[in-house]
Structure 1
């Protein structure tokens, strides 16, 4: 439970219709198994103590007595378990002589509360209003299993040791209704919704059900555990397949169908609380309409089984990745298209180095020109070799411009930089930051002046990862007239170029080949003299692997995770690829550089946001340039 992770489960026990004693044994056996696996919150199906398909037997006192005795058996058998469990059963209230379809929320042999079903289906194959009363507005105290308990639709269950763990409960059809009870629960603070369900299977229904669960978890910024009835329910007219789903904030973490047993994952309630804090449109209830029942649960470590992708900006599925790449290229190109139209620019000027970022920039610019029905020759690709330029990158830049149909200009800036160094007294033998940045600023000056000559607009090439690390020369490659890559991280830049290479393989093999070679070229600013014709300056040797920095950027900035939690997730995501010392080294470097380089982000050129993370000072990220990183770095010191 540390770092906000709560291990949850949806369980589908194998039952027998109306055999409450047998069902109770199956349930407490499943609860014990869940506890062994570290589960802290367990949801079981609707009416699982009796079976959902009992029909008119629900009106029999014998069945109701059997359900109560079955619950008492479960309470006794699990009194040593601190796990919260929601069990479905029919409950008769002597207060109003009505029968309610309920979830009993239990822990350590105690019934914390009873939550009745609000919306009772009475259409198609459903006849619940024949037996049950709706629970909307209900608030009564009854005796069940020798305990005085509240029967109310106004319950929330709050963990005292973990304030962000607040549980709400709804039952099956409640989710299908126009105004599910989970809305009210979430607005009152619930971060985890349990749904006890008995949803029969029909062709196409699983997809609809999946959409409901993921959509509700997204709208409510919550975790959602959906536990469905399965094997053992009557098949007189219906079939139940145990479609269990666990979702978090719009993403399905795990699901399974056509099986009994436990479906387990972890919900990050701290992440949900952070997102609600960030989202001004998530409004809490003005008045406290639900009352909280507190429970205690010791906080311990949670073994993570939920997927943690090492590339959070890049979809793992090949088809999803291709769709994402196509969408990003279109969004970025549309942004540039609008800017070219608005400025009446006759040309778009791109500094083409033969590296990944400038390659993506010219690909996006080509798409924008196509959207404008303008020829690619309106793109002026400028290659500017200097002291560190290798034959490989120079030749790739020339070949790429030619294959795209851009107008190519080759301007050797070596002599101009030497003259500048003579003017300021910089030795050519001193390969310090002035030596490097002088070249970058000369290139930017050339691009700006060429744009002036040709009524053009300079298209920026710097990416999101470089902005996060400040790996750009201030007023050098840091500056442009429109930055198309500004919200695209380096790991995604690579996949976008790879996508275009694959997409062009059939129609233009030569273009695909040059893109592939660019992908195989080490990332480098090429600002130090080459060694035997080879790149001497490799970016990732200096600032660290971009796959790590993009991972850190996503979790530290998008989700506001603490350094300790970011490290924990990195260890989970990268496994044996990096040891703890390496992860810590580059995480320290990330925080240090992110803070001290904010001044470069405070004056960024315009550029389109394409994903969930942007560092634009006019958009997602507002930060003082003189903020201090001490607190973050101190937390990392304690983890070494």
Structure 2
């Protein structure tokens, strides 16, 4: 007969340092898993503390509170009669480890430390933890007194071991370990481990899920076995959104998948798998020969069986059928990822809503549309009777206690929590951008303010003239480049001051109960940040920025998608408009254009960004890579574009040290906070340019020789 086991993967919206809330969500996930008949429950990495505690992991208090929370979990009725795999930090012999606690019925079976730590990109685990660099080694861990009182044991195994039950064998792999070339699941599978859990803290990045899915499928496609992948969901207090997508697989087939973007605080997926399928899958003689040579793991024995001793009488209990994975389009990822991130910030920071400087351009339009998407998700969650969302929504909207009011449409919610302002000038702003901003705000229901800032700008320039006896002029009026830039920047910086004034006082103006203030949203995209095409401390300086890690190209694709899917025909006007800052006077012969100002297109900026960050190329490497790729340009034109990019990148790098915390969505993000660590005072790239010019000379000389030869032949 088959040996059927039901396993559960929990994806939780944890909050860094929210020990009480995190513990409650863990217990709730255990209750749901148990209700669904699971005998093994796996949760996310460092789920007790939250993954994003950062330097708080260096504090002894955090380790003490983790044990206190684990004690609450061990004692809870919902956490009995199944094996639990729980993530938390543990200090062993004065060394900090990122660990998994495998337990059953108030007993800790094994503490399994992480072998390979994530230490690139957004991750700095080796700043806080030490890897357990002793594979298959186990020693004793002496439990805290509070845990001894519960378990009755003084010490438990600590190290790289597996759990042996009467019917199967369970091994644990943690996040980064799956992505390493010699992943632990390979040796564990060869050693007879049939169920592997993976507790993860993996963030959302555009187009990343497919890569993750492929790697997880490969974990059992060759070796066979049941693989349980869990992940955090939501924002736990930083720039990242953990995008769930928990998975359960058997022999390379996906049998259960969690949602990628959800407002659920607790989501549990389960699947019933047949252990006999694993055993028959592992029939190959070559696998058997490798298994004989594989290093052995110490087996920690427990008398609890995951499968029933006899075949179930209920014929409806059968193995879960394979499913096709669900993968969102990049446009959908932009619609839902930052929206979930914004909702978590809004419900956890205690403000009255969001404030946005809406310019009539595509960046602020995309930001507003993402807020509208957030409202759509909230309304759907209300319709689905999500109690936590309903509670949060009433509190954010300042609904009086006892009232049963709830918004019924996204527009109705937007009217309560979203505020926009168009801040123009008489000579520099067009009626088209003003109209687009007004129409979009009206369509999505936002509270909109329309104002001109000429008098404020004039007051400051008059002050400067009074003090210096010098009157700056725009370039169009005969001024120098320095004057022209200064007059643009004063407008941009004043918009930042004004938008914060409105953010603090609009709730009072609208007679919102309890007053409060609004969080200001930034709207600078990743390409503008990379190029530095923005004013330092202008209206890109805000509280948080949902599009700061998204390219202009992807934002346009998102707007085109939202035009249809959100029924917002006004977005067509934004798509057709020329990107412009509107900081210089408009005339019959001149309208300021972003791409003309930058000397490169947004598509080209994306290419430069990927080559600089993802491919890790300097100026010389970038030039030699692009010459055979950009065949529509001559080698000299490629050189001029690369040189222009690196010049402006270098002189504007300092701006990224002060940029608004942005939602991380792109691998080439220039975010100066942990992700892209580079100097902000650069020398000129003289050596690189001389080397490139040497190569360029050979290109052009070779071309002239070839053309001369062809002329002679004619």
TM-score, normalised with respect to structure 2 = 0.43
For the pair shown, the structure with the greater C-alpha radius of gyration is 1
